[in-house]
Chains A and B, each alone.
Chain A
Amino acid sequence: MTRSLDLSRPVLIAVAALLAVMIVLPVGWLVVYSLSDKDGSATLGNFATLFTDPTFVDPLVTTLIIAVSVSLLCCAIAAPLGWLVARTDMPFAGSVRTLVMASLVTPPFVGAIAWEMLAAPNSGLLNQLWRAISGMPADEALLDIYSLEGLIFVIACYTFPYVFILVANALDRMPGELEDASSMLGAKTWDTARRITVPLALPTLLAGALVAFLQALNLFGSPAILAIPAGFHTLTTRIWSLFQFPPKPELAAAASLPLLLLTVLLLRAQAMALGRRGYAVLGSKYGEPRLIRLGALKWPAAGLALLVLAMPLFLPYAALFNSAFSRVASRIISFETATLHNFRFTFLELSSTMPALKNTFLLAVSSATVGALLALLIAYIVARKAVAGHRVLGFLATAPLAIPGIVLGVGLFLAYTRPPLTLYGTLWILLIAFVTIELPAAYQQLSSAFHAVHPELEEAGRMLGATRLRTLADITAPLLRSAVIATWCFIFVAVIRELSAAVILFTSDTKVLSVLIFDLKESGDVGAIAVLSLTMVAITTVVVAAANRLGGTRTAGRLHARAVG
């Protein structure tokens, strides 16, 4: 028998080195810059400025207020809604669940733009409608989206679905016996909910609150669109403003570090909240949990759910469609006034549309391909413990999770505007950014797919005489195919909608769709913005639907795994 060259060691080192460069280089430069002054000598002055200058302290405080409010608001909406959908006989529960998840397709900054169309003080459609109904004078407004409250509301609209999904899934998985046992001992429905269901769902809700907090903390698009016109900054928009002329990268680096540290801490807290209480519940064939009968409250509950859905979904899309088909964005269209003018303008006349679309597709396809392959390689090495030291790879692959997009943007800017690798101004720097940002999610997805393929399935192949490679090709690859494609789609979608890193790293030649939409905001071309936003959502929807379809077939792999496991 010939022994093939053992490539595992060099492969491990190469992958580890690549990951280290991807993460250590930008973060390292961040730290170096944050400790330097303009001339490059060491100083702590940046941090002194950060914590004394009100133009930094105010955004920091504002950001914390927003993050706390968003996370409370999200829990207040998502927990009851999740409970209604998962545990009661509310009508249309299935549709509500699907629609809440569908609202995640909307990039948050598109949602912010749509809410601008709805609730800007003068031109906002809802304000116009209210003036028409109530006779309020034209210089007053019912709603003002350019405010702290407005910003919190819009961020919550596109964050609560994450909390909702966590809560609804946790309630789905909670065995029905736990509630039935309480009923048998005489507890009324409300007592059971209060003493059993809620405490059991609490760790999940806490984790959801942290997810919402992190999301609000690191979001760039919505605050950039709503806070800046309102005359205040959040931490992310402040960092971005330091890249406007004249650039102050040292201060940007210093301002990025608190964001990075806070994110790392919160992620650890989240892992603890989710991981601590092991539910000592044996699996059983007990069947579906009993649904709680709402009785007369059934229809009000459904009405409430639809009202909640109006905020991230019905109203914003109505506004986007209205603007897309209307010559004057601030007017409500009818069949007579509907026009395709905006589409013609956007796709035929606006010179930056086509290059941006081309860049976006190029980057999405290449990031998805590179990211999925890299994640696959790492997942394989880690899951099959192919080489010693595999744990380090798993850690490195998940580490970017803790780096907010805008912070990574700053770090990459600092790392690649200098020799030997002057990548700034090319698409490469965006590719690196997108692959780094999406790697953790891609890795986690593929790693769970690998765990679902029980090693015994591979071992059975090898016992029958197939080589390791042959087994990979004949058994593992077919079982993983759909997971890989789903991961590819996932990265593709995430790249298309990415704004916070791109907005730091783009140049006029490397503009992508999200940055183009953001830029058009300044010229106030609402029609084109609406058309491009809808285009982006349409592409996303198609790809997400494809990924879901493929993701569904993965159950075949799981079934096998369970049969042998």
Chain B
Amino acid sequence: MASVELKGLTKCYGAAVAVDDVSLRVEHGQLVCLLGPSGCGKTTTLRLIAGFIEPSAGEIMVGDKKLSSPSRTVPPEGRNMSMIFQSYALWPHMTVAENVSYGLRIRKLDKVTIDAKLKAILTTARLEALAERYPGELSGGQQQRVSLARALVVEPETLLLDEPLSNLDANLREEMRFEIRRLHDQYRYTTVYVTHDQAEAMTTADLIAVMNHGKVEQLGPPEEIYSRPRSEFVARFIGGSNILAGTALDASRLTIAGAPVRTTGRTLQAGKPVAVSVRQHEIGIALESPASGADNHLRAVVARQVFLGSARDYTVQLDDKTELRVTAPPGQNIAPGQTVWLHLPADKCRALAED
């Protein structure tokens, strides 16, 4: 097993650039998520790693072997990788056992070894009872487990997953997220996981690469992506954040709707426009006005509120008509139309990079 490294990976289709100079290192045994909206280049990146397509520029290294470069690409069958497809791609003319043992038979292992490995993986994936069924006779979740078992049984150096949960219903999706993470912890393959679902990425990944327009916008552990988004795109895509526009006053402060707000993150340049992200549940909401002149307090009017059971979701409007979402404790009930004071803690207001 080994690390996977992308160096300046680029893929163009005519004038269109699908993957634009992506560099990324996945250490041995790590699970990295490529996260982004459709068309951001994440699936193309995965297919480049799999060897289905050739890069226009850059290279892909696994360990110290160069697998892809514009001049030479090792075909998919020579890479010792496994892949889980969005549609599972189970062969309808083979039983579960035949599907799962296919890779072992291709590797020409002897029958005893094949049987032993098959039995072990079917047990791990809880599929023993279904071994003689055809894929058409399985439920979506069962098909998904077969496709996992088929990919894992060959003990690949690298495991690739292409939106593996998008065809499952919500309950099953949550269960399979943990299942994938459990199997990953058990086998510790170097794994690249493509998804557009941020919750899926948060729960499974060691490292998330948020992609947009073929580029990696931000690379980091889930906590960092969540709490310290570097750009407006990342903040919006991860969700749960308000993006506020203002003008910088000095190196660390700006005005939003006329009020001074202290920020963290990058150093500001006085007079320049700045975007700030602050999470919905990190904003305090109160009826009492703060001590005059205090930073990071904004006046607003409640436009709507929705009771969600475990929380109350407020939509409020600042003096300049900017709308904000605030998640407040369920007991804090303020009627629409009332004037409130918002507190945006300085260490939660992240100044975002200019796009």
A180 with B106, Cβ < 8 A, contacts A185-B82, A186-B77 known: no
A290 with B52, Cβ < 8 A, contacts A280-B90, A280-B92 known: yes
- A562: interface (CB < 8 Å): no
CB neighbors of A among B77-130 (8 A)? 77-83, 85-93, 102-103, 106-107
Q: Quick one: CB contact mask for B310-354 with A, threshold 8 Å, 1 for yes?
A: 000000000000000000000000000000000000000000000
Contacts of B138 in A (CB 8 A): 280
| B167 engages A280 (CB within 8 Å) | no
Q: Quick one: CB contact mask for A171-192 with B, threshold 8 Å, 1 for yes?
A: 0000101101111111111011
A187 with B50, Cβ < 8 A, contacts A177-B85, A280-B134, A286-B87 known: no
- A355: interface (CB < 8 Å): no
CA A277 to CA B86, docked complex, whole Å: 22
- A40: interface (CB < 8 Å): no
Q: How far is the CB of A456 from chain B (nearest CB, A)?
A: 24
| B81 engages A279 (CB within 8 Å) | no
| A185 engages B106 (CB within 8 Å) | yes
- B154: interface (CB < 8 Å): yes
- Range of interface residues on chain A? 20 to 34
| A180 engages B154 (CB within 8 Å) | no
Q: How far is the CB of B51 from chain A (nearest CB, A)?
A: 8
Give B167's nearest chain A residue, CB to CB: A282
Q: How far is the CB of A172 from chain B (nearest CB, A)?
A: 16
Q: How many contacts between A and B, using CB within 8 angstroms?
A: 94
| A200 engages B91 (CB within 8 Å) | yes
State which of A183, A191, A196, A281 has its C-beta within 8 Å of the C-beta of B75.
A183
CB neighbors of A among B130-158 (8 A)? 134-138, 143, 150-151, 154
Interface residues of B, CB < 8 Å — how many?
35
- B76: interface (CB < 8 Å): yes
Give B75's nearest chain A residue, CB to CB: A183
| B85 engages A182 (CB within 8 Å) | no
Give A293's nearest chain B residue, CB to CB: B75
A186 with B83, Cβ < 8 A, contacts A175-B89, A282-B167 known: no
A183 with B87, Cβ < 8 A, contacts A200-B92, A277-B92, A281-B92 known: no
Give A192's nearest chain B residue, CB to CB: B77
CA A200 to CA B92, docked complex, whole Å: 8
CA A278 to CA B143, docked complex, whole Å: 15
| A284 engages B82 (CB within 8 Å) | no
- A199: interface (CB < 8 Å): yes
State which of A177, A277, A282, A286 has its C-beta within 8 Å of the C-beta of B93.
A277
CA A280 to CA B136, docked complex, whole Å: 5
Contacts of B89 in A (CB 8 A): 175, 177-178, 180-181, 281
Contacts of B102 in A (CB 8 A): 182, 185, 187, 195
Q: How far is the CB of B94 from chain A (nearest CB, A)?
A: 8
CA A200 to CA B90, docked complex, whole Å: 12
A284 with B86, Cβ < 8 A, contacts A182-B102, A186-B107 known: yes
| B103 engages A282 (CB within 8 Å) | no
CA A75 to CA B82, docked complex, whole Å: 35
CA A358 to CA B25, docked complex, whole Å: 78
CB neighbors of B among A149-202 (8 A)? 175, 177-178, 180-189, 191-192, 195-196, 199-200
Q: How far is the CB of B325 from chain A (nearest CB, A)?
A: 32
| A284 engages B77 (CB within 8 Å) | no
CA A290 to CA B310, docked complex, whole Å: 50
State which of A175, A189, A191 has its C-beta within 8 Å of the C-beta of B87.
A175
CA A369 to CA B196, docked complex, whole Å: 54
Contacts of B160 in A (CB 8 A): 184
Give B135's nearest chain A residue, CB to CB: A280
Contacts of A290 in B (CB 8 A): 52
Give B53's nearest chain A residue, CB to CB: A290
State which of B52, B78, B93 has its C-beta within 8 Å of the C-beta of A199.
B93
Contacts of B85 in A (CB 8 A): 177, 180-181, 284, 286
Contacts of A182 in B (CB 8 A): 91, 102, 106
| A184 engages B82 (CB within 8 Å) | yes
CA A4 to CA B85, docked complex, whole Å: 57
Q: How far is the CB of B69 from chain A (nearest CB, A)?
A: 18
CB neighbors of B among A228-283 (8 A)? 277-283
Q: Which of A184, A191, A283 has the most CB of B within 10 A?
A: A184
A184 with B87, Cβ < 8 A, contacts A191-B106, A280-B92, A290-B52 known: no
Q: How far is the CB of A387 from chain B (nearest CB, A)?
A: 35
Q: How far is the CB of A181 from chain B (nearest CB, A)?
A: 4
A200 with B93, Cβ < 8 A, contacts A185-B103, A280-B136 known: yes
Q: How far is the CB of A253 from chain B (nearest CB, A)?
A: 44
State which of A187, A199, A282 has its C-beta within 8 Å of the C-beta of B77.
A187
Give A196's nearest chain B residue, CB to CB: B91
| B136 engages A278 (CB within 8 Å) | yes
A183 with B76, Cβ < 8 A, contacts A280-B134, A284-B86 known: yes
Measured CB to CB, the residues of A under 8 A from B are 175, 177-178, 180-189, 191-192, 195-196, 199-200, 277-284, 286, 290
6 additional A-B residue pairs with CB within 8 Å, beyond A280-B138, A281-B92, A282-B167: A177-B87, A180-B83, A182-B91, A183-B76, A280-B136, A284-B167
24 contacts between A and B (CB under 8 A): A177-B86, A180-B50, A180-B89, A181-B83, A181-B89, A182-B106, A183-B75, A184-B50, A184-B79, A184-B82, A184-B83, A184-B160, A186-B154, A189-B77, A200-B92, A278-B92, A278-B136, A279-B136, A280-B92, A280-B134, A280-B137, A280-B143, A282-B167, A284-B86
Measured CB to CB, the residues of B under 8 A from A are 50, 52, 75-83, 85-93, 102-103, 106-107, 134-138, 143, 150-151, 154, 160, 167
Name the 5 nearest CB pairs between A and B, nearest first: A280-B136, A177-B89, A185-B103, A181-B89, A183-B76
